[in-house]
Amino acid sequence: RDATHETKDVACTLNLVFDIRDNELNLCVHMRSNDIFFGFSYDVPFFCFLQQYVYLKLKETYPELLLGKYTHFVNSLHVYRRNYEVAVKCMNGCLSNRKIPAVTEKTLDEILLFLEYEQAKRTMGVDLDTGITDPYLKYMKEGLEGENK
């Protein structure tokens, strides 16, 4: 926790373990707690991105390396009462079957454009035309725009 700011929030991520087994880079994440809407739904895509980022960086030194498994353990996975109706609706079919595109070298090349877009969206509510062409970052941008339903 940040000792300079009073907060009820306690870190939920306990640890991340990267390992290489059978020439595959695996990532195992252990969470203390995850709210299904505002924790899990952001944490899993971020940690998968992180795994793919590390994989691409390691591939520069280990070209035969393969992307392995992602495992996500949660001690307390929950839905808050305020989100119960939305949870029931999602269980009845509002979830998307879209696949998240893979992270590539192009993703890494355009990540600063995405961060510029995200900051403008978050701080000023402005949609910048940043020229993002990478499929993964376009998917994430659509999520910020509320189009990934």
C-alpha span between 8 and 105 (Å, rounded): 39
Give the residue-averaged pLDDT of 138-144. Answer: 80
- The pLDDT value recorded for residue 148 is 37
- The pLDDT value recorded for residue 149 is 40
Q: In angstroms, what CA-CA distances link 43 with 61, 65, 118, 123?
A: 28, 25, 17, 21
Res 44 pLDDT > 80? yes
Under 8 Å between Cβ of 125 and 98: no
- The pLDDT value recorded for residue 47 is 93
More confident residue, 118 or 68: 68
- The pLDDT value recorded for residue 13 is 94
Tokens of 67: 């992307």
Give the residue-averaged pLDDT of 127-135. Answer: 83
Percent of the chain residues past pLDDT 70, beyond the cut: 89
Give the residue-averaged pLDDT of 83-99. Answer: 73
C-alpha span between 44 and 46 (Å, rounded): 5
